[in-house]
Amino acid sequence: MHKLIKIDEKIYAITIYDQKTRYFEGIWRIPEGITYNSYLYLGDEVNILFDTVKRDFCKELIEAIRKVIDPKDIDSVVIHHMEPDHTSGLKDFLEANKWSAEIWSHPLSLKMIKAFYKIDVKFRNLKDLETINIGDEEIRVIHTPWLHWPETIMTYMLNRRILFSGDAFGGYSIPEETTDKILDEGYIRAIRKYLATVIGFYRPWIIKNIEKLDRLHIKPSIIAPVHGKIWVKDPVKIVELYRSWAEAEPINNKIVVIYGTMYGGIENLVNEVVSRLSEKRFNVIV
């Protein structure tokens, strides 16, 4: 199942629903499911697809594209992240495209495409901070390493102020509403779980890359990730959620201490830690 909506006069969001995958990345249990977002820009001079999808769902992606344009009329495909849940359908898409599209991505991605999928493609290296003129719009390239692979990038439409953020600012679940116009605590939990499992190991890089966006004065009116809701109402909220979780700010001053001991040998140490934290007015739960 998929949904096709317009997020701009010239940009469609294609959301694919994945209720089949039980363990995301083969590790993380996701009974709530997950979505994959691709974005289709129909410009005056060039038509661009931002990210494909895993091969299991590529047929649906192509069907959705055909509702608005013939796939062979897509000139470029931007790949923000080479993980197979966004690229294993690339070959099938290019076959529908008659192999006419040029792939735009991080310099590392070309070797990965050849290694993963054994295909030769037309390829454009996207350098950090370069700006690409596409007619009525300009795209700024931002390398955002370790969110959560070394080759991850974001792209930013300067005129429309739309940030295509790749895996960053995404979340688990299959929300009924594609955008953040409806937002509840259940989805906030789905974002937190996604960050903790997918990107949590790279917490320092979350902070570094958000600070990089700040330095570049990137102030998006829309944040368009490849998983979860598209942030059209309050894009600042998702950035601040990611920032606060990456900085490990205690919520309601609460700290949870978890320990295990076979013979009680570390109990005194744990009690001392709890005592010190309590002195600093933390609400400690053991």
Q: Where are the domains of the chain?
A: 2-249, 253-285
Backbone angles phi, psi at 41, to 5 degrees: -105, 120
pLDDT band at 99 (very low <50, low <70, confident <90, very high): very high
Structure tokens at 21: 């995958």
pTM: 0.89
Share of the chain above pLDDT 90, in %: 86
Average pLDDT on 128-157 reads 97
For 8-40, write each residue's pLDDT tens digit: 999 999 999 998 989 888 888 998 999 999 999
Average pLDDT on 249-267 reads 86
Average pLDDT on 232-258 reads 91
The Cα diameter of the chain in Å comes to 71
Give the H/E segment covering residue 223.
strand 222-225
What is the C-alpha to C-alpha distance for residues 236 and 220, in angstroms, rounded to an integer?
8
What is the C-alpha to C-alpha distance for residues 76 and 65, in angstroms, rounded to an integer?
14
- The whole-number pLDDT of residue 26 equals 80
140: helix, coil or strand?
A: strand
List the CATH code of the domain at 2-249. Answer: 3.60.15.10
Structure tokens at 122: 């037309």
